Amino acid sequence: MRYAEFPPPASLRKYVHCLWVFEGHDADEPQRIVPDGRCELILHWGAPYLERDGQAWTPQPRALFAGQLTRPLHLLAREPAGVVGVRFRTVGAAPFLQSHVNPFTDRRLPLAGAPDLRDVPDETQRLAAAAAYVAERLHDQFYDRRIASAAAELRGSEGRIPLDELAAKVELSPRMLQRRFLEAVGVPPRMLASVLRFRRLFEILQTEDVASWTDAAQAAGYFDHPQMARDFRRFLGCTPTEFLAAKPGLAVHLVEDDAIVQARAAPHG
Question: Do residue 53 and residue 134 come from a single domain?
Answer: yes
Which CATH number does the domain housing residue 33 bear? 2.60.120.10
Q: What is the pLDDT of residue 205?
A: 77
Distance CA 104, CA 20 (A): 21
Q: Which residues contact 182 (CB under 8 A, 6 or more apart)?
A: 102, 188
Q: What is the pLDDT of residue 268?
A: 34
Which CATH number does the domain housing residue 260 bear? 1.10.10
Question: Do residue 109 and residue 153 come from a single domain?
Answer: no
- DSSP E strands in 168-242: the ranges are none
Beta strands at 31-32 and 16-24: parallel, antiparallel or unpaired: unpaired
**DSSP conformation class of 118:** G
Expressed in angstroms, the distance from the first to the final Cα of the chain is 32
Domain that holds residue 226: 191-265
Question: Do residue 213 and residue 228 come from a single domain?
Answer: yes
Question: Do residue 118 and residue 152 come from a single domain?
Answer: no
Q: Which residues contact 39 (CB under 8 A, 6 or more apart)?
A: 65, 66, 67, 68, 88, 92, 93, 101, 104, 186
Question: Do residue 8 and residue 93 come from a single domain?
Answer: yes
Domain boundary among 125, 152, 187: 187
Q: What is the pLDDT of residue 131?
A: 98
Closest of 149, 248, 240 to residue 198, by C-alpha: 240
- pLDDT tens for the chain, 269 residues long, are 899 999 999 999 999 999 999 999 998 899 999 999 999 999 999 999 999 998 899 999 999 999 999 999 999 999 999 999 999 999 999 999 999 999 999 999 999 999 999 999 999 999 999 999 999 999 999 999 999 999 999 999 999 999 999 999 999 999 999 999 999 999 999 999 999 999 998 888 776 677 677 888 888 899 888 999 999 999 999 998 888 888 878 888 887 643 443 444 443 33
Question: Do residue 101 and residue 202 come from a single domain?
Answer: no
Q: What are the φ/ψ torsions at residue 249 (nearest 5 degrees)?
A: -165, -150
Question: Do residue 176 and residue 100 come from a single domain?
Answer: no
Number of neighbouring beta carbons within 10 Å of residue 25: 12
Q: What is the pLDDT of residue 256?
A: 62
Q: What is the pLDDT of residue 20?
A: 97
**Taken in order 36, 37, 43, 47, is the CA torsion positive or negative?**
positive
CA distances, 155 to each of 28, 100, 158, 196, 269 (Å):
34, 21, 5, 7, 29
Contact 243, 185 (CB under 8 A): no
Question: Do residue 171 and residue 261 come from a single domain?
Answer: no
Question: Do residue 158 and residue 128 come from a single domain?
Answer: no
Question: Do residue 76 and residue 94 come from a single domain?
Answer: yes
Question: Do residue 165 and residue 200 come from a single domain?
Answer: no
Question: Do residue 158 and residue 207 come from a single domain?
Answer: no
Distance CA 42, CA 87 (A): 9
What's the domain count of the chain? 3
